[in-house]
Amino acid sequence: MYPTLLFLWAAPLAHFVIADRVCPKPPRVPFAHVDVDKRVYQSGEEIIYTCDPGYSHHSGSRKYTCPWSGKWPINTMQCIPKKCPYPGPLKNGMIHFTDFNYQSLVHFSCEAGYTLNGTDTIQCMANGQWNATLPECQPVTCASPSLPEFGVISYHKLTPGNVSVFQDVIVFECLSSFALIGNETATCMANGNWSDIPECKYVQCPQPTGIENGFVNFAVRRTYHYMESVDYGCHNRYVLDGPRESRCEKTGSWSTKPTCKAPCKIPVNRATVLYNGRKIKVQDDLTEGIQHAETITFFCKNKQEKCGYSVPTQCIDGQLTVPSCFKEIGKFSFWKTDPADLTPCDASVN
């Protein structure tokens, strides 16, 4: 009788304990929510986790069932932020960012000489797309340059069109008789201004003067202007040294004039010399001497070795120095041998 009564008393108690086994609110998953949000869940009741907007299911189960024990299973679900695509590249600009995750911001800036056309900041949205389109870095524009008086300009543009932009170049020229003072080019700079603009200056040079032992070629006496030139020449047997042409410069002066260098007389009466690769007699073939910068070679005698050697000397503006080793043979010294006819010393050594 007692066991039967005990069983009848325990059965309702067991039913009461089992019926009381319910699950509390499920564990919170960062960036996710459950489909049914209640304070308690009955044994066998299922819940499903869904990632919040802007996040994607990465790992772990989304579905969980309340067990009879009333304790939810260990939750391993993870939601991670969605990523937006790389927004660049930004031509002539820079992109500043930490990452491209949901809600992240990307900032834009342009290089020197360019300005931003469009938004300077975009944000990654919940759908994995940016909230605005990529801006553009457009070149800074420069206003039409001031044209120097008596000048003309030509353009060297990076892009076609009538507008001058950053790094465009203009080239200046002046009308005839005017000299360009300053740089012949100007560049559209990053600040929207042109670099220095030159000026055109009227230039006149005085009447050109002649040169000693020479002359200047010009048709008539007149006024000479910038870049005009005259030619110079030398009298017979004088040699022009320097540029043949002298030009009227932007300073109003003539460029360097040439000079006329004098020929040289050979200061000996009789000698055999080497001139232009040939042995010749001074008394026969060089009575007028040689011209400036020309060279003749004298022959000298090595008395000890009884051989001959040569020493060159050059005419420098009327001055020619005879080598000290040279000894002139008199007109009636028939018994003496001309050093030019001796065996060369270098040959005798061999």
Topology of the domain comprising 93-139: Complement Module; domain 1 (2.10.70)
CA distance 224 to 177: 9
pLDDT of residue 156: 84
Rg (CA), the chain: 52
DSSP 161-202: SSSEETT-EEEEEE-TTEEEES-SEEEB-TTS-B----EEEE
Classified as helix, coil or strand, 343 is coil
pTM for the model stands at 0.61
pLDDT of residue 6: 39
CATH code of domain 272-349: 2.10.70.10
CA distance 74 to 39: 19
205-261 architecture in CATH? Ribbon (2.10)
74 Cβ contact partners less than 8 Å away, ≥ 6 residues apart: none
CA distance 101 to 63: 26
20-81 architecture in CATH? Ribbon (2.10)
pLDDT of residue 305: 85
Q: How far apart are the first and last CA of the chain?
A: 155
- Is the domain covering 147-202 a CATH 2.10.70.10 domain? yes
Residues of the chain with CATH 2.10.70.10: 20-81, 93-139, 147-202, 205-261, 272-349
Q: What is the pLDDT of residues 301-322, one digit of tens each?
A: 998 888 999 999 999 999 999 9
Assigned token pair, 136: 């553009």
Assigned token pair, 11: 């059965």
Q: What is the pLDDT of residues 105-121, one digit of tens each?
A: 999 999 999 999 999 99
What confidence category does residue 333 fall into, taking pLDDT thresholds of 50, 70 and 90? low
Q: What percent of the chain has pLDDT over 90?
A: 78
CA distance 165 to 187: 9
